[in-house]
Chain A
Amino acid sequence: MSDEKIREEAKKALRERGLKCVIGWSADGTPFFAETEEDADKLSFNEHCANNLVTYLTQEVRSQRGKTRDGKDKIVKPVGIVVRGCDSKALRLLLNENILSRSEVFIIGVPCTGVVDKRAGDVLYRKCVKCAMRNPVVYDVLASDQVPEDEKDYSEVEAIENMSPEERWTFWEEIFADCIRCHACKRSCPVCYCDECLLDPTDVAIRPDTTADEKAHRPRWVERSVNVRENLVYHLARMPHLAGRCVDCGECERVCPQRLPLRLLTAKLEKDVKKIFNYEAACEDGQKPLIAMSKMEDENEFIM
């Protein structure tokens, strides 16, 4: 049983590694922060455990950072986390981008055969039906045996690629018209860790020393009005920022209260990045970011 193994490893790590907490799921599938060995007995992994918890990992580590009164770096207690395959890829990306360091995290991996969508009537999430990220790629311990992987399935993306431009426009227009810009996609995204987001007019970092000129002349890329045009800018401008970074974990699609098929965007992004740059996000430890790997022979017809 992976639950026993998760609990045992969490307790051991809390005890021996001085973890701040272990982020996992409780049996009802909701996120759970185990601070003590007693808490760790509530950790579980089952088909209802749908959240990608890596967003919380960044929060828990970052909240400890900073300087002490005498100017020294504060001590960061390592944070434990339970990750599935998809989550572990997002975590690897954060490690590769130096957002987290390996010594700050303790990783319990759980191979996964899919989680279910309560709102859709307890059927597997679409992303889980065929999944090429079932096994954790970075971990300290594994809580159960590895499971077979599927081939990555791009058939839904291909169906859209095969549409005529007019059909495609109508298809996306209908989707973007339904977005209410609650920002759940962005707020839950494990690799959207910026303090300030250019696509969110509500999220502008102002410090005490920010000048009036800076505030006055900061462009508003997206208006607060919610309509097809502004929504489209929000989603489409978000994508290049995720190119070579998004691991297609599907958290954005899972959390979308409007049930927009946002993975059609992220899977397309992943597919194109593979095709154009022969690059796959977080496919190995220590991998350089895509944006740092520009080559002369890169395709550039989209610019020129």
Chain B
Amino acid sequence: MSDENHYIPHVAEITGIMQETTGERAVKTFKVAFKDKSAEIKFKPGQTCMVSVFGKGESMFAISQSPTRGSLEFSVQRVGRVTEMLHELEVGDEVGIRGPYGNGFPVEQWKGKNIYFIAGGIGMAPVRAVMNYVVDNKNDYGELHLIYGARTSRDLSFKAEIDALEQGGAIDVRRTIDVEEPGWTLLDNKNPEQSKFDPSSRKFTGFVATTVSAMKCSPDNALAVICGPPIMIKTSIGSLAKLGWKDEQIYTTLENKMKCGIGKCGRCNIGGVYVCVDGPVFTYAQVKKMLNDQ
């Protein structure tokens, strides 16, 4: 292990592409398979990989599928140099993969707990991996909830998969969008606690944080996993705190610019913590401490 060359990726073929959303910042899910079967990796939900598009570079992505589903997937938003090119690729094209990196979610410690998965935008990618893992081991866990928000209904990824989970009764799902659309129950972002919450409604217009408040997510024997844009994480944590949640009950994933993925290149640190090897999964209590001691 120690003398392994961590910088050389293994070549993998794209075996499936799912167009999750469209537009300038579209999201696609890529299913990949290593050319050399011996390169296959064992990973935990929440771990990440460096994905190479040769000639453009490599970027770190969360693995977006649970190891229980037998495939290696990445859900990628088109935002930069590498992802733009990745979106041009087709089934049969080759990419490079190295990893897995990072700590992953402590799913073993979570056994017996009720779990709230709270995701915004592309933050659904790591949440999908851990959510599917938990759903596939449902007997080990308590009640499961997903609160998933995006700008508009067209920006919600993994639609069919989430619908199927919901219909199968595996998990309670609430979708939220920022911009009002017909058929989506309006919540009051200004007074989230006063928002009337209709438990039978599955689709809301309002921020994720507003939905969290309106739903009155219970901290009893529970934990929350929050992934998404910084502002969404911040406000959702605020909503949970008001409902009596403790910082240790809240898990999130951090991201920073990364080049090596193995704690050497010096750019993803927050204080003395390297997000690539020490994270990306942290409890909010840890995040708070990091911001304090840096």
Contacts and interface: CB of A to CB of B under 8 A. Distances in A.
A241 interface: no
Given A212-B84, A216-B84, 15 more contacts: A211-B24, A212-B24, A212-B78, A212-B79, A212-B80, A212-B81, A212-B83, A212-B87, A213-B84, A215-B79, A215-B80, A215-B81, A216-B56, A216-B81, A216-B85
A213 B87 CA distance: 11
Interface of B: 24-25, 56, 78-81, 83-85, 87
Main secondary structure of the interface of A (DSSP, over half): helix
Interface string A231-272: 000000000000000000000000000000000000000000
B46 to A, nearest CB: 26
Contacts of A215: 79-81, 84
Nearest to A211: B24
B53 to A, nearest CB: 10
B25 A212 contact: yes
A215 B79 CA distance: 8
Contacts of A211: 24
Contacts of A212: 24-25, 78-81, 83-84, 87
7 contacts: A211-B24, A212-B25, A212-B79, A212-B84, A216-B56, A216-B80, A216-B84
Interface string A194-224: 0000000000000000011101100000000
Nearest to B26: A212
A216 B87 CA distance: 12
A215 B25 CA distance: 13
Contacts of A213: 84
A225 to B, nearest CB: 14
Q: How large is the interface on A (under 10, 10 to 19, 20 to 34, 35 or more residues)?
A: under 10
A216 B81 CA distance: 4
Contacts of B56: 216
Contacts of A216: 56, 80-81, 84-85
Nearest to B85: A216
B260 to A, nearest CB: 15
A1 to B, nearest CB: 47
**Nearest 8 CB-CB pairings of A with B:** A216-B84, A212-B84, A215-B80, A216-B81, A212-B78, A215-B81, A212-B79, A212-B80
A155 to B, nearest CB: 45
Nearest to A213: B84
A193 to B, nearest CB: 26
B255 to A, nearest CB: 16
Contacts of B25: 212
A162 to B, nearest CB: 44
B54 to A, nearest CB: 15
Contacts of B78: 212
A217 to B, nearest CB: 8
Contacts of B83: 212
Nearest to B87: A212
B24 to A, nearest CB: 6
A8 B81 CA distance: 55
A196 to B, nearest CB: 15
Interface-centre pick from A213, A215, A216 (highest chain B CB count, 10 A)? A216
Contacts of B84: 212-213, 215-216
A243 B291 CA distance: 47
B122 to A, nearest CB: 13
B75 to A, nearest CB: 16
Contacts of B80: 212, 215-216
Nearest to B24: A211
Nearest to B83: A212
A215 B82 CA distance: 9
A213 B23 CA distance: 12
A212 B82 CA distance: 9
B208 to A, nearest CB: 20
Contacts of B79: 212, 215
A229 B79 CA distance: 31
Interface in A167-212: 211-212
Nearest to B84: A216
B20 to A, nearest CB: 16
Contacts of B24: 211-212
A216 B24 CA distance: 13
Nearest to A220: B81
A30 B80 CA distance: 41
A260 B84 CA distance: 40
A213 B85 CA distance: 9
A213 B78 CA distance: 9
B82 to A, nearest CB: 8
Nearest to A217: B84
Contacts of B85: 216
A249 B113 CA distance: 69
A52 B87 CA distance: 48
Contacts of B81: 212, 215-216
Nearest to A204: B81
A24 to B, nearest CB: 34
A159 to B, nearest CB: 43
A243 B168 CA distance: 71
B160 to A, nearest CB: 26
B121 to A, nearest CB: 14
